Structure 1
Amino acid sequence: MHDHCGVHGASSSSVEFDDQGWPVWPDREDLSAEFVKVLAAAQEGGSTVSECWLTLSRINLGSENSWSGEWIKTAELNEARAELSLQNGNMITARRNWLRATTYFHAAARPPGYANDLLKCAVDGMRRCATNFLNSRVPAGQVLSIPWTDDLSLQAYYLPSAFRGDGPVIVCIGEPGSYKEELIAKYAGHADERGFSLLAVDLLGTQTALPPERLEGRKFEAAMSRILDFLSEKPGVDNTRIAIVADAWNSSLVARAAASDARFAAAVCDAGMWDSHERSFFYRQADGNEQIGWLEEANPTSRSIECPLLVTAGEAGWLLPGALIEFGDRLSSIHRDARLMLFRRAETAAMQGHIDNPTLANEVIFDWLEDRLRPSKGLA
């Protein structure tokens, strides 16, 4: 049992609901999105619906510490259950509770900069429970530090497949400001069921993650090449079947990495859309021409990606559906194996990053990966 983080008391809160039935705080869109994410994690075993709603009922945004404090209390209850189950020899229940505790601690740590006095408690708890979850798996997962520069290593979790022999690996990269712990609940089940090993890498969270200046120029691409070097020497890895998957879809970091190293066997990313979108935005600001469209800009990133490429997007995301469809058409015309999958509001998974239904999007993503990573495909 770990000491409590000093969170006391409960508070009530009022919440509104959008036209899709999701709870929202009009002045805190960041926290509204975080609640959608933690509630949707229940589909993958990363939370329970009842605990999410109970925690929400106690949150009072008028209190600076209420959001983080209430999620920490829920996380600690799950961690205590996990430790009791471990003592009783019930490893499956212990593992399930550690996974939920990881999600709740992650919610307490998000968004960055909110309730700073509790951030360390949340991050420490999140990483402690994630490590216990990894240790309880069969085969056990690993906490890795992958050498990069003379003074810096990439922090990662490796979840090996239970299948014998050399097999495929999915490298999952969080967007700036995210934590690798979130990727475990989101992707581990999909990878494990298909015989994929999973490598979840930290980039721009807090503490052991990278500061933004480390990604200037081509440093991020160099980091991904070091990951490929590391995996190619790791037992149980087929170095011709390593794929890269972006999370959240609000940058082109992963697309640039896939374009810079031909060793990736498949890539699920934005294909450089955000780079083109941002360039177009700055051009419009500079020229005062509202008619300049981001799709009119050349996209050297997508043209440079040689491996099979999947782009997924939501109708209710940050880019207009019509522009996304046009981008997908152009992508298919210049790439031998590229597809854009657009999720409509009527089927869900339509929000930015598919946060409203990650399960639906991940089924499409991992089915596509399974097809591209079969040994018979001979992809390199």
Structure 2
Amino acid sequence: MKPNRALIVAITLSITIFAVISAGCSATGEQSPESPLPTAVAAPAAECPALVFTDREFAFELQRTLGASYSGEADVGECLATASRIKEGDFESWYCEWNRTADNFRAVGDESLAAGHRITAMEAYYRAATYYRTAEFFLHGNATDPRIVETWGKSRESFRDALALDVVPYEIVAVPYGNTTLPGYFYAVDDSGKPRPLLIVQTGFDGCQEELHPYAMEGIKRGYNVLTFEGPGQGEVIRVRHIPFRHDWENVIGPVVDYAVSRPDVDEDRIALWGISLGGYLAPRGAAYEPRITALIADGGTYDVGLNLLANLEAGGVANLTEIELQEWLQTDPVEFNDAIRGAMAHDTGTRWLNENGMFVFNAGSPARFWAKWMDFSLVGVAEEIRCPTLVCAGAVDHFDPDGAQATALYDHLTCERELMVFSDDYGAGSHCQLRAFAQSFGAKFDWLDDKMGMTDFRPGEE
């Protein structure tokens, strides 16, 4: 089927609307009565509150970086001072100012270490790692920009220099994967080598595993050994090895679990998997085919990318196109579609970032090819295969999942023991993955996990 011009315009507008929604907060309606809300949801705000920036994408990423303050891997004053120097909506200005801040605290760490102040150096290195990672975030419009690998490399180097000064036992690991390996970190409760329950934590569409360090430290406090990793499309794997995302994530989780059970310090009967952001699709996809996963957190839950597109098409009055037909058309790389999307990207920061990062992590040469590949990310007919207890998380004002539609759809298709946890925005926890409310996030999610994994009696320092 070849859409006529009117249909092309409608499809493009619908997908652009979806991109804009995915880049800024929107109002959230009532949840399906089939999906109980264990957390009370107050009347949500219509959009993210402005913080330094009126540009919603910049405001959200600033809040994401500020969230690292909870674990001491950013500081509020440093973040706000940096943001105040950034030109609104300007990707180059974003890079320059965050990189400048990162360089400053990298130097603070070096000077402190040289003077014998190891704790100050460690803390400065952790913050520098966060700021380098933030600086690199909007660079993906040119996949050959040397600053991508350079700045990412500085972030990882600073993070590892901090780890080397920290007291938590850890290993930099390589997980066998096909004819290569996946990079990972293994964090241990102690150096006893005793088998312990394992928590595997993974990121999503735009994250690096160093950003998962706060999750790992919370797991350590609760008695879990923790494994983080990066798969295709993520972190080092896309930036250095140029291996793009794949939708069949079971082919990633299987090797990760194989590696985990090969370790003598892992209790192979208690392995939990926590997927964050797009990991809320990736982790459930892997768990559906991996019986060794004993508990799963989809944070936030994602069911089917294509359903969002169809919903926007129908809202725009286009009802005669199926998901398959839309994907097949996008696979032809239509010039009209690409031109329209690029036009929208020129006028909206969120649309620009979503498509630039999508083309980067999927190794797609055009917006249409990115969207065609992304539409493969579906749990239709797969979610029902998940057998372990599953927690599906959502935020009352999650800008990536308006109305909680994706999380609710995943929850409703699960046949295993399940719970839907929707975070109110009363105290700022209603945003995407609760990235600006880690105290509430960790408390609720780890309590659920501890109950399922038999960890409620763990006391730090006690066996």
Give the TM-score normalised by the residue count of structure 1: 0.80
- C-alpha displacement at 1:315, in angstroms? 0.8
Deviation at 1:271, TM superposition (A): 8.8
- Within a 5 Å distance, the mapping from 1:3-82 to structure 2 comes to 20-26=49-55, 29-61=56-88, 65-82=92-109
Query: Which blocks of at least 5 consecutive residues in structure 2 are unaligned?
Result: 1-46, 323-377, 458-463
Q: CA deviation at 1:228?
A: 0.7
- Distance in 2 (alpha carbons) for counterparts of 1:124 and 1:323: 37
The aligned residue for residue 359 of structure 1 is 439
User: Match for 1:20: what amino acid?
Assistant: P
What is aligned with 1:350?
A: 430
2:437 & 2:263 partners in 1: Cα distance?
Answer: 33
| Deviation for aligned residue 1:170 | 1.4
C-alpha separation in 2, matches of 1:280 and 1:109: 28
CA shift digits 1:53-100 (9 cap, x unpaired) = 111122124765321121122112222222233334433322222211
Higher mean C-alpha displacement, 161-170 vs 343-352: 161-170
> Which residue number in structure 2 is paired with residue 241 of structure 1?
270
Which of residues 381, 401, 418 in structure 2 aligns to 1:319? 401
Residue 121 of structure 1 and its aligned partner are, at CA, apart by 3.0
The answer to whether residue 258 in structure 2 is matched with residue 177 in structure 1 is: no
Q: Is 2:285 aligned against 1:256?
A: yes
Distance 1:222 1:61, change over 3 A: same
Q: 1:154 aligns with which of 182, 198, 209?
A: 182
Verify the 8 A CA contact 1:40 1:357 in the aligned structure 2.
Answer: yes
Partners of 2:139 and 2:288 in 1: how far apart?
Answer: 30
Match of 2:120 among 86, 90, 93: 93
How far apart, CA to CA, are the structure 2 residues paired with 1:64 and 1:272?
29
Residue from 262, 265, 288 that aligns with 2:294: 265
1:198 paired with 2:278, answer no
> Aligned Cα RMSD in Å?
3.2
The answer as to whether partners of 1:161 and 1:196 remain within 8 angstroms in 2 is yes
- The code of the aligned residue for 2:271 comes to I
CA separation of 1:41/1:260 partners in 2, compared to 1, >3 Å: closer, same or farther? same
Does the 8 Å contact 1:134/1:159 carry over to 2?
no
Moved more, 113-122 or 154-163: 113-122
Partner amino acid, structure 1, of 2:215: Y
Q: Displacement, 1:344?
A: 1.5
Normalised by the size of structure 2, how large is the TM-score?
0.67
Contiguous gaps of at least 5 residues in structure 1: 1-17
The question of whether the paired residues in 2 share the 8 Å contact of 1:103 and 1:126 is answered with: yes
Q: Which residue of 2 aligns with 1:189?
A: 217
Q: What's the CA shift string for 1:286-313, capped at 9, x where partnerless?
A: 99449x9xxxx99533321111111110
1:107 to 128, 134, 137: 134
1:258, 1:271 → 2: CA distance?
15
Number of equivalences: 347
Deviation at residue 372 of structure 1 after TM alignment: 1.7
The answer (yes or no) to whether the contact 1:44–1:359 under 8 Å persists in 2 is no
Q: Is the 8 A contact 1:249 1:353 kept in 2?
A: no
Native 8 Å contact 2:394 2:404 kept in 1: no
